[in-house]
């Protein structure tokens, strides 16, 4: 999450997409009143469980790395940004973990932990998805496999979008599994789209549109296509027939770019921006999808993460603050915004959220409807994992 090239958003909004870390303010409000008003379409309110947070910290588990051929403490440095699956009346967490030896900031691998109450998790000793001597080594080594999001299809097979980071560039990948333990890497999500023109561009963070049924996030077609929101800085979209091969949604010949693109976005000038950043708000610097998007009667509900720069955004938030909000999109046209929150509903206000590998971060990535509650899991300061809960009626 911390690797972003710099570019600028013209036409009023200025976006820098750089990473500065400062100490957050001492504000302790978890749920803002004005976030809840006039947002009956949103999933609110959430309350952080301060009595148990953070629910996961770095650990001492080890395994023999297949590339280094030596024992590695693979989650020794940081754990954060988890995906969530409800299965067999348990909560399965697939989380990003970093060691202390990989470059540039430790190699990332995906670990698995299981909980019977949604709060206390038992970890597997070894990671379940990681760089190895396979066809994708050059894309994943030494940076690793990052920031998973997991959905399933109507047959119960699981699909994980994750970011491959080689230390220089991020690429959005897909893997499949029948049991959450054994994963098959399927490659770059855009490998077959437009003759592969997006394979070597900066891509990450895939949130597939789902129906949340009996606790399960089941990928659901809209207009005979699966849909996915993806990207950082801006949020774009893509469609698929099989959940493995995806095609980014480009602008039609009649549409014109609404922004002047620089840096990594220059290589993607035809992509249709679905959710832009906003001037003078908490989401001024970048926007990035959170958990798998939710198809509801009112539309497609997407929880998204954002980063702030006070000089162009919210002057009350510290430089680089990651806060989260929600947006509702048209279920008949997933590129059309119907409603968008004017402020965040969760932000860093705890010590473990504003001090860590990257300061001032609440990064939401996992969502579970479990035992009459809605659990929202998030990375804190790119260092630990916490949870917030909404009571369901």
Q: What is the pLDDT of residues 90-120, one digit of tens each?
A: 999 999 999 999 888 999 999 999 999 999 9
Query: Percentage of the chain surpassing pLDDT 90?
Result: 83
CA separation for the pair 133, 129 (Å, rounded): 12
CA separation for the pair 388, 44 (Å, rounded): 11
pLDDT band for position 39 (cuts 50, 70, 90): confident
Backbone φ and ψ for 35, nearest 5 degrees, come out as -75, -30
Query: Percentage of the chain surpassing pLDDT 70?
Result: 88
pLDDT band for position 392 (cuts 50, 70, 90): very high
Q: What is the model's pTM? A: 0.91
pLDDT in tens, 138-193: 999 999 999 999 999 999 999 999 999 999 999 999 999 999 999 999 999 999 99
More confident residue, 198 or 269: 198
CB 194 within 8 A of CB 206: no
Backbone φ and ψ for 279, nearest 5 degrees, come out as -70, 145
pLDDT in tens, 332-391: 999 999 999 999 999 999 999 999 999 999 999 999 999 999 999 999 999 999 999 999
Mean pLDDT of the chain: 90
What is the pLDDT, as a whole number, of residue 259? Answer: 57
What is the pLDDT, as a whole number, of residue 243? Answer: 98
pLDDT band for position 262 (cuts 50, 70, 90): low
CB 94 within 8 A of CB 82: yes
Q: What is the CATH T-level fold of the domain 33-391, as seen in this structure? A: Tachylectin-2; Chain A (2.115.10)
Give the residue extent of every domain in the chain: 33-391
Closest by alpha carbon to 3, among 193, 377, 263?
263
Q: Which residues contact 316 (CB under 8 A, 6 or more apart)?
A: 25, 310
Inform me whether the pLDDT recorded for 17 exceeds 60. no
Go through 81-108 and write b for each residue having 16 or more CB atoms within 10 A of its CB, e for each that does not: bbbbbbeeeebbbbbbbbbebbeebbbb
SS3 content of the chain, % helix, strand, coil (to 5): 5, 40, 55
H or E stretch covering 306: strand 300-307
pLDDT in tens, 189-227: 999 999 999 999 999 999 999 999 989 999 999 999 999
């Amino acid at each position: 999450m911390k690797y972003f090239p710099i570019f600028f958003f013209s036409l009023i909004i200025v976006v820098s997409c750089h990473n500065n870390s400062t100490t957050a303010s001492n504000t302790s409000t978890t749920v803002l009143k004005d976030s809840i008003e006039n947002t009956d379409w949103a999933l609110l309110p959430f309350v952080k469980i301060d009595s148990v947070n953070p629910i996961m910290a770095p650990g001492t588990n080890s395994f023999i790395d297949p590339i280094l051929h030596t024992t590695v403490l693979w989650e020794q440095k940081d754990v954060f940004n988890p995906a969530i699956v409800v299965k067999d009346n348990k909560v399965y967490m697939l989380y990003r973990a970093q060691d202390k030896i990989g470059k540039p900031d430790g190699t990332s691998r995906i670990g698995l932990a299981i909980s019977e109450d949604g709060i206390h998790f038992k970890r597997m000793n070894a990671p379940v998805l990681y760089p190895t001597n396979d066809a994708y080594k050059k894309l994943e080594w030494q940076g690793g496999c990052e920031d998973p999001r997991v959905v399933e299809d109507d047959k119960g097979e699981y699909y994980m979008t994750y970011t491959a980071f080689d230390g220089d560039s991020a690429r959005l990948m897909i893997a499949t599994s029948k049991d959450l333990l054994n994963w098959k890497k399927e490659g770059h999500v855009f490998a077959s789209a437009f003759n592969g023109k997006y394979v070597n561009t900066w891509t990450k963070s895939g949130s597939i549109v789902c129906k949340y049924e009996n606790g399960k996030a089941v990928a659901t077609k809209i207009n005979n296509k699966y849909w996915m929101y993806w990207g950082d800085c801006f949020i774009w979209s893509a469609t698929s027939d099989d959940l493995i091969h995806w095609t980014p949604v480009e602008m039609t010949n009649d549409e014109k770019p609404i922004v002047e693109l620089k840096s990594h976005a220059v290589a993607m000038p035809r992509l249709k921006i679905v959710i832009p950043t906003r001037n003078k708000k908490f989401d001024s610097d970048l926007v990035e999808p959170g958990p798998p998007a939710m198809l509801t009667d009112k539309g497609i509900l997407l929880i998204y993460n954002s980063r702030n720069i006070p000089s162009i955004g919210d002057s009350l938030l510290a430089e680089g603050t990651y806060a989260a909000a929600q947006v509702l999109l048209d279920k008949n046209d997933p590129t059309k915004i119907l409603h968008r929150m004017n402020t965040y509903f969760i932000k860093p206000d705890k010590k473990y959220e504003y001090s860590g590998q990257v300061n001032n971060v609440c990064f939401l990535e996992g969502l579970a409807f479990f035992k009459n509650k809605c659990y929202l899991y998030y990375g804190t300061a790119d260092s630990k994992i916490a949870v917030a809960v909404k009571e369901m009626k």
